[in-house]
Structure 1
Amino acid sequence: MVQSSLGGLTSNEVQEFEAEYHHLVEDFIAGSEMRDIPLTLKWIEKVLNYNVPHGKKVRGLMVPMTYKCLVKDPNETEIKLVYVLGWCVEILQASSLVCDDIMDGSITRRGRPCWYKVDNLGAIAFNDSLLLEHIVYRILAKYFKEENYYSQLVDLFLDVTYKATCGQSLDTLTGHHRNLDEYTMERYKAIVKYKTSYYTIFLPIALAMTVIGIKGSQLMEKGEKIAMEIGQYFQVQDDYLDCFGDVKSTGKIGTDIEDCKCTWLFITAKDKCNAVQLTVLRENYGFDDTAKVANVKNLYNELDIQGAYKQYEEESYSSISDKIKKLESSQLEMVFCNLLDMIYKRNK
């Protein structure tokens, strides 16, 4: 018997999901109505293959993982459709990352140069971000147009993308204004709710539930609340890995300090600082200067922010686990338990 390898999915199922990506791209390119512009089609294929299949795939895998927990003995056709939805989430994620990396001036992503740095693309890579987003809706139309839940899928993607864009706006505006007095836990939670939680946690689960036909139920409302908490936990992990993660594992050189991001690390440090330490933090945070970045990281070490993070991780895991156990559905409980186990103590 094949042992489960990721979030309740077997290694064979993970491999099937990954294989579906190549079928999806081949099908999309072969069936495109843009055959009179082969240069663009070839470019679209390059954009997809560079930016989409090389990540952790947590968001994409959550769709079949959720579906498998909620549906007994799904057939091959149903599984293929949820694999396609999973890859739609991954393509949307790639669209966001291409854009984010340009705005943040990031250097690497997933162990390779950010897309805008490939072939000296620069700002014109913004168009590729738009291409990726539009491809999601082309794929949805191709595979789900005849399904009675098609419009719900489209509305879900549009709604969550809008929320994520608003969260991104709050995030970038906060960093742009550089008013460190506005960097509060309340502001941070608002950024994370819209930028991360809906997009990373809620969307994949809601997609699977929409296909099954249980979206909009009271159970989904309860699940949404837990998704918000797991999303915050996930983002705090990202904040920690940006500063303290091993680049060989994360594949990304963190720039949150230079970019003056409103992060859990900064807020926790600010709250722990004495007057002298707070002055050091204010004078060094948010500058693209190696010495100043080192000063901030040294202060984080002095304040034992890594210890505070480990305590936060354990407390969050315990709190979320307790709330999952109170769900009135053993199937949905399994979904969130598998998800929590997927991301617990992650290092990338």
Structure 2
Amino acid sequence: MGDSTAVRTMSDAQLFEAQFDELVTELTKRDYQDPVLADALGRLREVLIYNTPGGKRNRGLSVIGSLRELLPPSQLTQDTVQRALVVGWCIELLQAFFLVADDIMDGSVTRRGNPCWYKKREIGLDAINDSFLLEGAIYRLLRRHCRDQPYYVHLLELFNEVAFQTELGQALDLMTSPPGNIDLSRFTMERYKAIVKYKTSFYSFYLPVAAAMYMAGISCEQEHSNAKHILFEMGEFFQIQDDYLDCYGDPAVTGKIGTDIQDNKCSWLVVTAMGIMNAEQKAKLEEFYGRNDDASVEKVKELYQALQMPEVYQRYEEESYLRLQKLIADHAKNLPHSIFLNFAKKIYNRKK
């Protein structure tokens, strides 16, 4: 990563950014590949550059951020920091893999302010294979950078397990909200929380902290279980916040146009609203929810407004933060509280 003096003066975010081009080159270089693969490697380069950077990078940066809380500075050698940055990019690749596929399944139009990858004219459903390329890149990087480390198998198992949990969550989400098959009786808070736990919390919250814990030599199951308790609360709040922003966020800030209402999504807003609606409002909701026209979406938003959903959400956010502080006090006995508090600062009160 260049001159070591320059490296020492760069922030983690700058180090992380600088690492990306090197990883793209490493994944697409020709010298150890069959020359016939040049076109496919060119495609991989395009896929990586279009889909991996551009997000908030909270997940990826949380690996090095957490490792700095877990290890004394004397153990944070340049090699250790670099490996943490690579593992962070592996999480960003996992996220890109999920998002490319997810956008196809949801029929989404924009992602991070740009057209979804599959929406680009020459791409279409070839994007399915492109998502597999992003997943495959994770394991090439882990092998190349971490194979000789004592935590290598832990990381492999962690990424495999988290990917599977996320895919189970996605299956549950798709089965709960099939397009064109509107049945609001499926929308329960219990099911919503299960979808969030498996689809979001494992990979967005537990994965980066667990990876840092393994890299710091913490492999005790109890410690990982304690971390999960705290991180799942954060993951649940993060998704609820995402659902809220889908309806009430500014697309110019969030980078995407919300489609949960017309996509018949089992979102926190609809599940919570159903719990406080009268029979007449429920009938209206059933008439208009999941319909792909602006007038129907507007009717649902009017119902939310009548139920004062923004105020209900603000109360939920405050309660969630208090719950989180209690979980940290109860479960983070042997782990630095700062790991979790740093995460919390990034997500509470976010606008995108």
**TM more than 0.5:** yes
**Residue 5 of structure 1 aligns with which residue?**
none
One-letter code aligned to 1:51 = N
1:92 pairs with one of 89, 94, 101: 94
Q: CA deviation at 1:325?
A: 2.4
2:344 maps to 1:333: no
Q: CA deviation at 1:271?
A: 1.2
1:215 pairs with one of 215, 219, 225: 219
SS at match of 2:36: coil
Deviations 1:5-57 (A, max 9, x none): xxxxx972211111111111112222652543111111100100000010011
Q: CA deviation at 1:304?
A: 0.8
Cα separation, partners in 2 of 1:34 and 1:305, compared to 1, 3 Å: farther
SS at match of 1:222: helix
Q: Map of 1:246-265 to 2, 5 A cutoff?
A: 246-265=250-269
1:102 pairs with one of 101, 104, 118: 104
Instruction: Determine if contact 1:35/1:41 at 8 Å carries over to the other structure.
Output: no
**Residue 114 of structure 1 aligns with which residue?**
116
**Residue 55 of structure 1 aligns with which residue?**
55
Q: CA deviation at 1:149?
A: 1.7
Deviations 1:279-326 (A, max 9, x none): 111111011111111111111111111111111011101110122123
SS at match of 2:72: coil
Structure 2 gap ranges (5+): 1-8
Q: Map of 1:235-250 to 2, 5 A cutoff?
A: 235-250=239-254
Instruction: Determine if contact 2:261/2:297 at 8 Å carries over to the other structure.
Output: yes
One-letter code aligned to 1:149 = Y
Instruction: Determine if contact 1:239/1:263 at 8 Å carries over to the other structure.
Output: yes
One-letter code aligned to 2:113 = G
Q: How many residues align?
A: 339
2:290 pairs with one of 283, 286, 301: 286
One-letter code aligned to 2:64 = P
* Cα distance between partner residues in 2 of 1:216 and 1:114: 40
* Cα distance between partner residues in 2 of 1:35 and 1:336: 47
SS at match of 1:36: helix
One-letter code aligned to 1:54 = G
Deviations 1:143-194 (A, max 9, x none): 1122222111111100000000000000001001532112010000111110
Cα separation, partners in 2 of 1:32 and 1:253, compared to 1, 3 Å: farther
Structure 1 gap ranges (5+): 1-9
Instruction: Determine if contact 2:229/2:327 at 8 Å carries over to the other structure.
Output: no
**Residue 21 of structure 2 aligns with which residue?**
22
* Cα distance between partner residues in 1 of 2:105 and 2:86: 29
Q: What percent of counterpart residues are identical? A: 44
TM-score, normalised to structure 1's length?
0.94
TM-score, normalised to structure 2's length?
0.93
**Residue 305 of structure 1 aligns with which residue?**
309
SS at match of 1:119: coil
Deviations 1:100-135 (A, max 9, x none): 101101110000000001134222211111110111
Cα RMSD, aligned residues only: 1.5
* Cα distance between partner residues in 2 of 1:228 and 1:311: 19
**Residue 191 of structure 1 aligns with which residue?**
195
